[in-house]
Chain A
């Protein structure tokens, strides 16, 4: 059973920088896992921020960036805004299957 692990919770101050990570139980995450990042706020459908490691959609704020860091996928928020408080999920590809991480609850305080 493949497990994708994220930090359960993180807290950041407004204007600060925070990095969320996404690890695979199978080993180092590479671009072959096509990491994706999603934001979800209570009562809303998820919204895709990053696809295939570091690609942004037109609606993705510039302060969000995706990368590979120390064998994990990473989502960095620079200049955090209060509206960034949300749950963040990563998704990795394992051939045909996809697996979500458990999510990181980001608190902006």
Chain B
């Protein structure tokens, strides 16, 4: 069974850092590009970042560029999102999603940025 499980969410102060992880199982992780998508409370979906199969190509939304870093460890079947200089507006549920066909989603991890 294909599974994506996010972890690492929590409460952090503005200006702080947090790293999210997405553990993949049930498929050949290294064969899929991966995405992070977030959803602020009561708002719509916002694409955050994506990474190629080998990790050599990454893209970011303008709203997070320079503050967030996407990474992957194909040996550990894991996707990461390092979030620095966090702002109130980064408060959201963060989802990882598989591939260009968006064929699997995790259940999300809640990140709350608040003093």
Contact = CB atoms under 8 A, between A and B. Distances in A.
Contact of A48 (B50, B101, B106, B108): B101
B44 A48 contact: no
A103 B44 CA distance: 6
Contacts of A99: 47
Chain A interface size band reads: 20 to 34
B103 interface: yes
Nearest to B106: A45
Contacts of A1: 62
Interface string A72-109: 00000000000000010101000011111111000000
Nearest to A49: B102
B105 A34 contact: no
A45 B45 contact: no
Given A45-B108, A89-B45, A99-B47, A36 B102 contact: yes
Nearest to B47: A98
Interface of A: 1, 34, 36, 38, 40, 45-48, 51-52, 55, 57, 87, 89, 91, 96-103
